[in-house]
Amino acid sequence: MFKKIIPIMLLLVCVIVSGLVICQDVQAQTLVQRSSPRLMKGVRPLGMGGAFVAVKGTDENAIFNNPAAINDYEKKFHFQFLLPTVEFSYKSLDYFINEIPDLASDIDDQNTDGGKINAFDNFAATNTGRYEEVGIRGNVAVMMHKYITAALFYETHGVIALLNPASSTIDLEVIGQAGLMLGSAYSFFDDHLQVGLGVKFIERYLVDETITQREVISTDSFEDILDWKRFGFGIGVDVGIKGTPPIKGKVWEYLKPMFAFTVQDIGHTRFFAGDDVGRQDESMTFGLAVHPDFWKLKSILAIDVRDLEYRGDFLSKFHAGYELTWPELSKVLRSISVRLGVNQQYVTAGMGLDFKYFKFNFATYGKDIARRTIQKESRMFAFQLAAGF
């Protein structure tokens, strides 16, 4: 037994020390990645308030939230293909399709610097306080197995923000990522402890501009303000543990409690072999979950506290969620799930329909536009369609 305990303890010590050593090394984060996990937020977890690291691994979300949950998969291969997720805030589509192109046309149509500044200032004054986000992401293919999992993924997000009432500035960001995620997990002590490792190979594309009056008058065209040629490649590492204490009793067996601890993007995931495209900050998360059943219904109650190594409001780190599932409805419709939660004090909700060869998930959630404080909610909506066997 000691031969098994020693490598596990060494792994946990290395993980915790690495996080503590760099906990003071904090840089500006991209607008899109101000909340964790930084990569591939699933629609099912979003409906549950983002609380997911201690949840049993049953779908593609495990590898991106806690690689230890890979060990919950069956000892046979399952595959999913083409999992597109569309996500947007309330008025984001209108902003990216109409408002920004109209602003660019208004500025380009002006013949004087004063005219350009007036067009720019009028837009900024009308939209002060606005934060809109739109994105699409998914897994091209996912292979799931109890000991090895792989996912080919992609995601693109765009954000427009006018959050500085003291000056006329527009923050415009477009971030695209694609790559390969590999994960493996193993269990110890009669499955009371699971340990997992995830490695991600990421190609990133980034447009990150703060548009001011100076940029407006110093370029011939609005499009010239934006730098569309920033690419970089990075390799990130996630580790996680998940388990349950070896305690017996009817209440314990009924609740099936789980604890979990993850460190994502250990040491910060940096991008090289290209341009400056920012980085993905490390994030430590502690989670708890219970899995009580009612009649035929299965349920999950989960709590996560994320970004433990950073200072900030507790509510900005707090996530809680509940999922109730009615399984085995028919040979075609295998289950229906409803979800509720709290994400940074904002209410979340969602539902899922799991058919034999495809599934549909929906979520609406609120997130704060600030990074480590509670300031203002951005209400988001997300839809996912996946096929697999």
Which stretch, 48-52, 127-131, 162-166, 188-192, has highest mean pLDDT? 48-52
Residues 6+ apart with CB under 8 A from 51: 45, 287, 289, 302, 303, 304, 319, 320, 321, 341
Task: Retrieve residue 146's tokens.
Answer: 């109890």
- How much is the pLDDT for 17? 45
Average pLDDT, the chain: 87
Q: How far apart are CA 311 and CA 332, in angstroms?
A: 48
State percent of the chain over pLDDT 70.
Answer: 91
- How much is the pLDDT for 126? 87
Residue 165 has pLDDT above 80, yes or no: no
- How much is the pLDDT for 95? 83
Q: How far apart are CA 357 and CA 331, in angstroms?
A: 11
Residue 311 has pLDDT above 60, yes or no: yes
Q: How far apart are CA 104 and CA 221, in angstroms?
A: 8
User: Average of pLDDT values for 38-57?
Assistant: 94
The answer to whether 66 and 52 have CB atoms below 8 angstroms apart is: yes
- How much is the pLDDT for 99? 87
Task: Retrieve residue 185's tokens.
Answer: 């997990």
Task: Retrieve residue 160's tokens.
Answer: 């427009």
User: Average of pLDDT values for 291-303?
Assistant: 93
- How much is the pLDDT for 25? 43
Whole-structure pTM value: 0.87
Residue 346 has pLDDT above 80, yes or no: yes
51 band by pLDDT with thresholds 50, 70 and 90: very high
User: Average of pLDDT values for 174-201?
Assistant: 95
Residue 19 has pLDDT above 70, yes or no: no
46 band by pLDDT with thresholds 50, 70 and 90: very high
User: Average of pLDDT values for 200-215?
Assistant: 90
Residue 16 has pLDDT above 50, yes or no: no
Q: Strand runs (DSSP E) across the chain, as ranges?
A: 78-89, 131-144, 149-161, 170-188, 193-211, 231-243, 258-264, 269-272, 279-280, 283-290, 293-294, 297-305, 318-327, 333-343, 346-355, 358-368, 377-388
- How much is the pLDDT for 6? 42
Residue 184 has pLDDT above 80, yes or no: yes
Residue 315 has pLDDT above 50, yes or no: yes
* DSSP string over 64-116: HH-GGGGGGS-SS-EEEEEEEEEEEETTHHHIIIIIHHHHHHHHHH-SSHHHH
User: Average of pLDDT values for 254-274?
Assistant: 92
Q: What is the pLDDT of residues 103-113, one digit of tens each?
A: 889 988 888 98
Beta pairing, strands 333-343 & 318-327: antiparallel
- How much is the pLDDT for 72? 95
Residue 20 has pLDDT above 70, yes or no: no
191 band by pLDDT with thresholds 50, 70 and 90: confident
1 band by pLDDT with thresholds 50, 70 and 90: very low
User: Average of pLDDT values for 12-32?
Assistant: 50
Residue 305 has pLDDT above 90, yes or no: yes
User: Average of pLDDT values for 157-162?
Assistant: 88
DSSP letter at 168? -
Residue 234 has pLDDT above 70, yes or no: yes
Residue 209 has pLDDT above 70, yes or no: yes
User: Average of pLDDT values for 341-362?
Assistant: 93
User: Average of pLDDT values for 377-388?
Assistant: 89
230 band by pLDDT with thresholds 50, 70 and 90: confident
Residues 6+ apart with CB under 8 A from 105: none
* 191: helix, strand or coil: coil
- How much is the pLDDT for 29? 59
